[in-house]
Amino acid sequence: MTKTAAAGTHPLDHLVLPTHSLDVARARLTALGFVVAPTGIHPFGTENCCVFLADGAYLEPLAVGDEQVAAKAIADGNVFVARDRAYRDSNGDEGFSAIVLGTGNADADHARYVDAGISAGDMLGFSRAFTDPAGKRDIASFKL
């Protein structure tokens, strides 16, 4: 797993691990010796508590923090939350639902996926407050 990539490749960014409870996920990961970041709140009803690895990749335990906000996000076409809900409906609240790859140009990748007929839907861009395990605060921005 590396953040450097040859042209045309996409390195591992993170693994999405649905969970019913971030408290349980945090306890499990801490017991395994991982340092778990504080809870990150998404603006569309989900939340996470990430484990960042030395190479920059990370594990993303993901829970539904606000069911009403998540339901509205799905109704509004949020593909990320809709796919999380579909996974949970099919497999339960615990597991491994996605491999996320990194890119230097999400817009170009999205256009290529649309042209090829393999897009999952509209691109989702969002920002949220972020606190790392050492307590440093910042704003993290994402394009999915």
Q: Domain spans of the chain?
A: 12-104
pLDDT tens digit string along 30-75? 999 999 999 999 999 999 999 999 998 999 999 999 999 999 999 9
- Helix/strand/coil for 111: helix
Q: pTM for this structure?
A: 0.83
Q: How confident is the model at residue 105 (pLDDT cuts 50, 70, 90)?
A: confident
Q: Report the alpha-carbon distance of residue 111 to residue 134 in Å, rounded.
A: 37
Which letter does DSSP use for residue 56 in this model? S
Which amino acid is residue 111, in one-letter code?
Answer: A
Query: Nearest to residue 44, comparing CAs of 82, 88, 14?
Result: 82
Class of domain 12-104: alpha beta
Write down the H helix ranges in 32-143.
Answer: 67-75, 79-91, 106-116
Which amino acid is residue 99, in one-letter code?
Answer: I
Q: Report the alpha-carbon distance of residue 82 to residue 46 in Å, rounded.
A: 11
